[in-house]
Structure 1
Amino acid sequence: MDLSNCENGGVHEVKVVVSKEVKLVRIIWVDASGQHRCRVIPSTRFNDVVKKNGIGLSVVCMARSSHTDVPIGKNLTGAGEIRLLPDLSTKRTIPWMEQEEMVMGDMYIKPGEAWEYCPREALRRVSTILKNEFDLEMKAGFEIEFLLLKKAVKDGKEDWVPFDSSLYCSTSSYDAAAPFLHDVVDSLNSLNITVEQLHAEAGKGQFEFALGYTTCLTAADDLVYTREVIKAVARKHGLLATFIPKYAMDDVGSGCHVHISLWQNGKNVLMAADKSSKHGMSTIGEEFMAGVLYHIPSILPFIAPLPNSYDRIQPNTWCGAYHCWGKDNREAPIRTASPPGIGVTSVSNFEVKSFDGCANPYLGLAAILCAGLDGLRYHLQLPQPIDTNPSYMGLKFQRLPQSLSEALEHLEKNNTFTDLIGERLLAAIKEIRKAEVKYYSKHQDAYKQLIQHY
């Protein structure tokens, strides 16, 4: 397979025909609960699948929760089928299993007619609206935190425990995990995914990879592939990697912070053209970010999709528990970041810290885009930034929703996402989130089982 580099990690040319060495091809999709799923096609049939009608998939593929495959709700049941077609521009050789390839799948009612529940199509659709209305393109880059676990016998039973007692940026933690980390970097390089940096994080057995920024759809695809790489390489090393937000209640959580920028004609237009801006952002940059800040309580069900997500979003944990923003303030849920060597007088991107590793990245980015669009349409303005820990300021700042049920209440009252995300897809997401609330309220320790899923 020929993969040629292009700007932002894209692909110029991908040969459709499967090479003789490849035996199987995985067609991957991410469901509404953020779980990765795949159908595997023998290479001898792959060309027929691609050239004709894809493969059949029950509509319940977008009605499953984190805890069961029983479909949630009444709209997506065992009656009905869609087609899962591979997006050939995303086809890559699997680094840890070179006789296989993987490719992202798009959901269609029939070839040429996208299914309204398809997460990748939802992100494409909202991105197109941003382009058509404002001639803008949103780019994104993810920071992926995860726990590395090892097997141990505890009270006569096998259990998964942290790989080590990491300290933030500990050299010894890095050294101990270096064979695993090297294999991850090599695998990501082979997939043309840019790694900007990696390090040990503050939690026990916790590490982080920061990926390069690129166009939204590619950024989401890269995140999915990176998760696949990290989990698979961990298995090769006899370890288990998990992205769940809060594995140990007495330790820090794991997030998937996303950095957002706006581009026009190849130029970052989130930044102010000169130093006259009070926030270091252009007018459109401020309006877009103001929309995200205004709507973030309603965005949370997309980017923090499990009850366990809210165990992570707590004060004094660098997650952003209060409804505010700040310049390089890691206790704010939205943090503006400056170009290297410039300082806070200029802003190159802003970071949404509430995003976690259980989120469907296509739906999460689509929700952020919707909020930014609303900010542009209504010319929203930012309040003053917060330059200290908001938890030190008493009752001056409102907490973000402290539970998934509270976040859902905000989403239920918010009409901004209905037309942009799609009424039926949004209804399915809400039903699944409500099912998560109901299940985990009765099974409070069940989140521990999710280390195998996320």
Structure 2
Amino acid sequence: MLLSELARDRGIRYFLISFTDLFGVQRSKLVPAQSIDEMAENGAGFAGFAAWLDMTPADPDILAMPDRDSLFQLPWKPEVAWMPADLCDIHGQPMIDTPRLLLKKMVAAAADQGYRIKTGVECEFFLLSGEAHQISDSSDRAAKPCYDQQALMRRYEVISEICDGMLSLGWKPYQNDHEDANGQFEMNWHYDDVLVTADRQAFFKYMVKSIAEKHGFNATFMPKPFATLTGNGCHTHLSVWDNEGKINLFTDTTGSSELSTLGYQFIGGVLESAAALCAFANPSVNSYKRINAPVTLSGATWSPNTISYGGNNRTHTIRIPDFGRFELRLADGAANPYLLAAAIIATGLDGIERKIDPGDRCDNNSYDSPPSDSVKLLPNNLLDALRCLKSNVILTETLGTSFVESYLKLQHQQWNQYSHHISSWELEHTLDC
């Protein structure tokens, strides 16, 4: 069926053809339904330099080819449909160094080895008052607001509309809660194939912000918008299945352990490259205000500070909450849905290939127990993470040298812009020198 015919059947008037750039920003063109078949065939043209891509104004246009198999009709505006797109050059050649295509590359690499990756994400966000940088609910002041029933229900109209949207899209959402910070919420939906989850995560951020604006609020996934409150995480649950998606290969068939040997090897690869992985899991300057952070108002940051794994223990980078899966607690709300997933797969497959032993699990509270000499700390800032990525052979070779060089180039530009900024703290503490 042509997209124009689908539009007629579903009452769609416009299509948003959207791609995600290297920094996770969604770039779109709004196409009327009468023109969508031509755009689907030939692509929507963009100037690559206008987005966060390693291009110049002298470069030719790039084309966004929409994926009709991943069409989302906006629940709050059904006359519009959103479609994620893959980028190609004007000759029709795929631009493999772009986020969604990199994830597809890693999905294919896993499939070649007989593996099918499934993920689920927990996206945390704050609801703020309009343009003001303050919590939208002035009554949300508890020191430990996590799961606060009253605060949750005061934002029922927003949360329920977002959840209704996920229900209508068939995502199988199963719970919503007030999180550990005042004004912070989390919404969970069922896990799926990694590309499906990444597309949904990208759309979820757009949906949350749009519905929040509809109700007069501003939603933010910023990693650490408030110094004394818990930051926005993007916890990622991952399991590896056979190519048919029927058998969970992380399941220990003996029943004596939470994970199979394959699962622990995957974890071993992630932990070995964790410092470099931070460049994708924690891609902003602000990200490092969330990890390695001082104690918050609630008494815990709920963010990792050591490169370690444990059982059902939320103080480590990796938690094994149940049989057959693990949770990476490293990533935050600024993470690019596609690059994060691609990098996790790259490091995990390396762990399987080299049969990396993650070592003994840690059952300590990493917040109040000093780490042993064998446990490494996470990078202290974005620059440290970028340096770790530059020296990491696995991610460079697997994701591609040209992509990593482009990513590092753009991220160093961001770091330099940040470094040129004079903060109020500097003025307060050094002006009298």
Give TM-score, length-normalised by structure 1.
0.85
Give the CA deviation at 1:394: 2.2
Q: Distance in 2 between matches of 1:86 and 1:401?
A: 37
Give the CA deviation at 1:112: 5.8
Give the CA deviation at 1:398: 2.5
Deviations 1:267-304 (A, max 9, x none): 11112111344xx2111111111101111111111111
Q: Distance in 1 between matches of 2:5 and 2:88?
A: 22
Verify the 8 A CA contact 2:251 2:324 in the aligned structure 1. yes
Give the CA deviation at 1:109: 2.3
Partner amino acid, structure 2, of 1:86: P
Give the CA deviation at 1:80: 2.2
Query: Does the C-alpha gap of structure 1 residues 30 and 445 become closer, same or farther in structure 2, counting only changes over 3 Å?
Result: farther
Q: Does 1:354 align with 2:334?
A: no
Among 117, 121, 134, which residue is 1:161 paired with?
Answer: 134
Give the CA deviation at 1:444: 6.3
Among 301, 305, 319, which residue is 1:335 paired with?
Answer: 319
Verify the 8 A CA contact 2:234 2:329 in the aligned structure 1. yes
Among 71, 75, 79, which residue is 1:91 paired with?
Answer: 71
Verify the 8 A CA contact 1:141 1:212 in the aligned structure 2. yes
Number of the residue aligned with 1:23: 13
Q: 1:72-111 counterparts in 2 under 5 A? A: 76-109=56-89
The unaligned stretches of length 5 or more in structure 2 are: 294-299, 425-433
Among 413, 418, 428, which residue is 2:406 paired with?
Answer: 428
Verify the 8 A CA contact 2:61 2:90 in the aligned structure 1. no
Partner amino acid, structure 2, of 1:384: D
Partner amino acid, structure 1, of 2:127: L
Q: Distance in 1 between matches of 2:52 and 2:218?
A: 27
Among 40, 46, 54, which residue is 2:43 paired with?
Answer: 54
Q: Distance in 2 between matches of 1:128 and 1:327?
A: 30
Number of the residue aligned with 2:27: 37
Partner amino acid, structure 2, of 1:88: R
Give the CA deviation at 1:29: 1.1
Query: Does the C-alpha gap of structure 1 residues 116 and 61 become closer, same or farther in structure 2, counting only changes over 3 Å?
Result: farther
The secondary structure found in structure 2 opposite 1:19 is: helix
Verify the 8 A CA contact 2:268 2:348 in the aligned structure 1. yes
Q: Distance in 1 between matches of 2:115 and 2:95?
A: 25
Verify the 8 A CA contact 1:287 1:376 in the aligned structure 2. yes
Q: Does 1:402 align with 2:380?
A: yes
Query: Does the C-alpha gap of structure 1 residues 409 and 434 become closer, same or farther in structure 2, counting only changes over 3 Å?
Result: same
The secondary structure found in structure 2 opposite 1:34 is: coil
Number of the residue aligned with 1:226: 204
Verify the 8 A CA contact 1:202 1:252 in the aligned structure 2. yes
Verify the 8 A CA contact 1:140 1:259 in the aligned structure 2. yes
Number of the residue aligned with 1:217: 195
Partner amino acid, structure 1, of 2:107: S
The secondary structure found in structure 1 opposite 2:27 is: strand
* Higher mean C-alpha deviation, range 159-168 or range 428-437: 159-168
Deviations 1:394-415 (A, max 9, x none): 2523210010011111111111
Number of the residue aligned with 2:308: 324
Q: Distance in 2 between matches of 1:27 and 1:422?
A: 26
Partner amino acid, structure 1, of 2:390: E
Give the CA deviation at 1:192: 1.9
Partner amino acid, structure 1, of 2:343: A
The secondary structure found in structure 2 opposite 1:411 is: helix
The secondary structure found in structure 1 opposite 2:163 is: helix
Verify the 8 A CA contact 2:4 2:34 in the aligned structure 1. no
Q: Does 1:128 align with 2:105?
A: no
Q: Distance in 1 between matches of 2:187 and 2:422?
A: 30
Number of residue pairs the alignment of both structures matches: 407
Query: Does the C-alpha gap of structure 1 residues 395 and 90 become closer, same or farther in structure 2, counting only changes over 3 Å?
Result: closer
* Higher mean C-alpha deviation, range 103-112 or range 415-424: 103-112
Number of the residue aligned with 2:259: 281
The secondary structure found in structure 1 opposite 2:348 is: helix
Give the CA deviation at 1:210: 1.6
Give the CA deviation at 1:14: 9.1
* Higher mean C-alpha deviation, range 17-26 or range 221-230: 17-26
Verify the 8 A CA contact 2:118 2:191 in the aligned structure 1. yes
Q: Distance in 1 between matches of 2:253 and 2:64?
A: 44
The unaligned stretches of length 5 or more in structure 1 are: 1-12, 65-72, 152-157, 339-346, 447-454
Number of the residue aligned with 2:396: 418
Partner amino acid, structure 2, of 1:146: F
Verify the 8 A CA contact 2:22 2:98 in the aligned structure 1. no
Give me the identity figure in percent. 27
Query: Does the C-alpha gap of structure 1 residues 444 and 305 become closer, same or farther in structure 2, counting only changes over 3 Å?
Result: farther
Verify the 8 A CA contact 1:320 1:354 in the aligned structure 2. yes
Give the CA deviation at 1:355: 1.1
Partner amino acid, structure 1, of 2:69: S
Number of the residue aligned with 2:181: 203
Verify the 8 A CA contact 1:17 1:47 in the aligned structure 2. no
Number of the residue aligned with 2:239: 261
Q: Distance in 2 between matches of 1:84 and 1:247?
A: 33
Q: CA RMSD in A?
A: 2.0
Q: Distance in 2 between matches of 1:35 and 1:284?
A: 34
Give TM-score, length-normalised by structure 2.
0.89
Give the CA deviation at 1:222: 0.6
Query: Does the C-alpha gap of structure 1 residues 302 and 333 become closer, same or farther in structure 2, counting only changes over 3 Å?
Result: same
Q: Distance in 1 between matches of 2:91 and 2:117?
A: 27
Q: Distance in 2 between matches of 1:29 and 1:444?
A: 33
Partner amino acid, structure 1, of 2:166: L
